[in-house]
Amino acid sequence: MLPFVFEWHWDIGHIVFFGLFYGVVSVVFGVLGLTILKTILDLWAGKIHSADH
Amino acid sequence: MRRWFDDLPKYADDSSWWPNGTTRCRPEVFLFWLGLPLTIMAYFGLSAFLVLFKGLNQTNMNDYFAFGVWIVVDLAVIALGAGAFFTSFLNYIIGKTELKPIVNAAVLIGFICYTGAILMLGIDIGQPIRGWFGFWHANVHSMLTEVMFCITTYAIVLCIELLPSVLDNRRIGKVPEFGTFSHNLHTIMIVFAAAGTFLSFFHQGSLGGMFGVLYARPFAYRGHLGIWPMTFFLFVMSAIAAGPSFTTMVVMITEKITGKRLTSHKVKMLMGKISGWLLLVYMVCKSVDTLYWAFIYLPSKGLSVGQMYQAPYGSWLVWAELGLFGWLPAILLLTPRVRESYGLLFLAMLLNCIGVTLNRFIFTIQSLALPVMPFEKFFSYLPTWQEWGVASLVLGHGLLIFMLAYRYLPIFPQEPELNQR
């Protein structure tokens, strides 16, 4: 549920509940995205980690 | 033709995919044993088809038993899978690096437990394609909404935590992109461990809280600490006490089946000690909670303990849960000589895991068996074969994933060293 849908209410329950949920989801996917980005940059810079290296 | 047969073993040889320094059984033997989980999953497939096609009349659930064996198995595997978050928490956040040899196995077992539970719940909700409604039309006052959010998000976290093990496969790890991604994931794993700990704490607790807020059912209702009933904390404590035991037990069973040593006994003893202390704390709290409920709460509502326990759910369940599968494993796990013995350690851990499963059974089934109206009688429930079929998914799916992971992924880093001849 997002804040612009009709079922949303700006009460403490929705704010705390969804605030924590979206917070955790943002951290998880944000860190995963940053890790993918760092991997691309590492590969670009030639910093390769593999079983052969 | 003869040449083709001669060449066959070469093509069927998958040894280059095995973890470094390990040996596995021949591919045809492995394929033969894969038949076991596939048979179980076929049983699940038939049962799930019947339930989805014909409806819940295929089950023995009714207006009294809205929860049945699926929820019992679901709650039990979620508790037993708690070894993943708690071992990761101890290893990555507290810095208990002695647990590193078993953390991959804990994550794998957690992944199996959570994905199995989610797949089974897909059948339980009756309309799997409407599963996303819980997110979009969320009831923020429901404990189950919180459970749903946390379990699905934590399952994603477990996939990410398991990813480095997949990418570290001997062949996959040689691909520079995968090897580098795996290396970078390892360095940032603490963030995922922290997110997993947060999510697990709340959904383990909310599963218990769900029962503790049932004020019309005195068997389950408990007093609150803040906004949370006592069952919230008891469920968290019992899960973190049983999770490490279950992880270690699965490793021990794998050792017996494969005839190989996968982790040192020191690691197993440490897991046993952690489980023992956590179980002791849980048992003290659970015993105090039970005494308060039996001698203060129930009489205050004009009820007695005797009314809560009737055949087939008699008072023997209390003695079994708190005594045989509660205090006994706690004492055993805290005894150094027991932990030193492979067999006794396994027995103590088994009793601990049975205890948490029994606790989830009692809260789910017995809570619903008790009459809530003066004209109602005490009910009992037995699942149909279709219900057992759907519940068996966890076993079939777990065996399949664990067998594949054991064969191809470096789940046990100590294995090459411990099996040197």
CA-nearest residue of chain B to A25? B153
CA-nearest residue of chain A to B167? A50
Helices (H) and strands (E) in chain A, counts: 1, 0
User: Which of B391, B345, B421 is CA-nearest to residue B119?
Assistant: B391
- Reading the block at residue B247, the tokens are 């992880």
Indicate if the pLDDT at residue B7 is higher than 60.
Answer: no
Q: Decide if A35 and B135 are in contact by the 8 Å CB cutoff.
A: no
Q: Decide if A50 and B178 are in contact by the 8 Å CB cutoff.
A: yes
Nearest CB to A31: which of B156, B175, B188? B188
Question: In this complex, is the C-beta atom of B184 within 8 Å of any C-beta atom belonging to chain A?
Answer: yes
Indicate if the pLDDT at residue B53 is higher than 80.
Answer: yes
- The overall average pLDDT reported for chain B is 94
Q: How confident is the model at residue B263 (pLDDT cuts 50, 70, 90)?
A: very high
User: Would you say B134 and B122 are in contact if contact means Cβ atoms under 8 Å apart?
Assistant: no
Length of chain A: 53
Q: B22 CB contacts (<8 Å, ≥6 apart)? A: B415, B416, B419
Task: Spell out which residues of chain B touch residue A28, defining contact as CB-CB under 8 Å.
Answer: 153, 156-157, 160, 192, 195
Given this model, what pLDDT does residue B377 score?
86
Nearest CB to B173: which of A32, A47, A51? A51
Tell me the average pLDDT across B24-44.
96
Could you tell me what percent of chain B has a pLDDT over 70? 97
- The overall average pLDDT reported for chain A is 90
CA-nearest residue of chain A to B156? A28
pLDDT tens digit string along B88-140? Answer: 999 999 999 999 999 999 999 999 999 999 999 999 988 899 999 988 999 98
Given this model, what pLDDT does residue B312 score?
87
Amino acid at residue number B111: F
Least Cα separation, residue B134 to chain A (angstroms): 9
> What domains appear along chain B, each with residue ranges and CATH number?
45-212+222-418 (1.20.1630.10)
Cα Rg, chain A, nearest whole Å: 19
Least Cα separation, residue A8 to chain B (angstroms): 9
Q: How confident is the model at residue B298 (pLDDT cuts 50, 70, 90)?
A: very high
At CA B136, angle to CA B133 and CA B142, rounded to 5?
80
Task: Spell out which residues of chain A touch residue B185, defining contact as CB-CB under 8 Å.
Answer: 35
3-state DSSP helix/strand/coil % of chain A, to nearest 5: 65, 0, 35
Given this model, what pLDDT does residue A52 score?
60
Q: B387 CB contacts (<8 Å, ≥6 apart)? A: B47, B58, B59, B60, B61, B68, B69, B70
- Reading the block at residue B30, the tokens are 């492995």
H helices present in B313-392, as ranges: 316-318, 328-333, 336-340, 342-361, 367-369, 385-391
Q: How confident is the model at residue B310 (pLDDT cuts 50, 70, 90)?
A: confident
Cα Rg, chain B, nearest whole Å: 23
**What does the alpha-carbon distance between residue B151 and residue B286 come to, in Å, rounded to a whole number?**
25
Peptide bond before residue B312 is cis, with ω within 30 degrees of 0: yes
Given this model, what pLDDT does residue B333 score?
98
H helices present in B67-175, as ranges: 69-80, 83-88, 100-124, 133-136, 143-167
Q: How confident is the model at residue B371 (pLDDT cuts 50, 70, 90)?
A: confident
Indicate if the pLDDT at residue B199 is higher than 70.
Answer: yes
pLDDT tens digit string along B321-349? Answer: 999 999 999 999 999 999 999 999 999 99
B224-225 and B228-229 beta bridge pairing: antiparallel
